[in-house]
Amino acid sequence: MDATFWALIGLIIFLAILVYLKVPAMMGRSLDERAANIAKELDEARTLREEAQALLAEYHRKRKEAEKEASEIVASAQREAAALLTEAKEKSEDYIVRRNKLAEQKIAQAEADAVNQVRASAVEIAVAAAGTLIADKMDAKTAGEMFKSSLEQVKHNLN
């Protein structure tokens, strides 16, 4: 008998031992387990991806809502600032009108009172100077008050 024959017999015996020890079944089971693990990991990855996409969409939605709310706050603050400015202008004009009427009354009284002409002249000068100072101070003060008021309102709205 030839060496090739004995090699064939050895190969057949080796394969028979492998089949007897159920090596192909173990290899199949191992490969099936590995395939199952890979499928499970793919499912987990798909689930995580879907969750991440949902979170991303939610964050985009929240960002858009926050931007919309911020623009509404800014628009509201601008409307309130305009209203405050209009109100301050009206109050200033009313104050000036009242001050002008008061000054006219004092001037008329001073003209009627010939005896107190010197005192009337002093009153006119004092009233004119006070009107100028008040007008100058009122514009700066009103502007400062309006700025403070607007700033407080914006702070309040942003909180």
Report the C-alpha gap between 89 and 95 in whole angstroms: 10
Checking if the pLDDT of 155 tops 90, the result is no
Question: How many percent of the chain have pLDDT more than 90?
Answer: 47
* Location of structure tokens 């514009």: 139
Amino acid at 58: E
Report the C-alpha gap between 38 and 151 in whole angstroms: 60
pLDDT of residue 67: 92
Report the C-alpha gap between 14 and 44 in whole angstroms: 42
Checking if the pLDDT of 127 tops 70, the result is no
Do 103 and 126 touch, CB atoms closer than 8 A? no
Do 120 and 110 touch, CB atoms closer than 8 A? yes
Checking if the pLDDT of 135 tops 90, the result is no
Report the C-alpha gap between 21 and 15 in whole angstroms: 10
Question: Which string of DSSP letters, residue by residue, matches 108-140?
Answer: HHHHH-STTHHHHHHHHHHHHHHHHHHHHHHHH
Checking if the pLDDT of 27 tops 60, the result is yes
Confidence (pTM)? 0.38
pLDDT in tens, 43-53: 999 999 999 99
Tally of CB atoms within 10 A around 110: 19
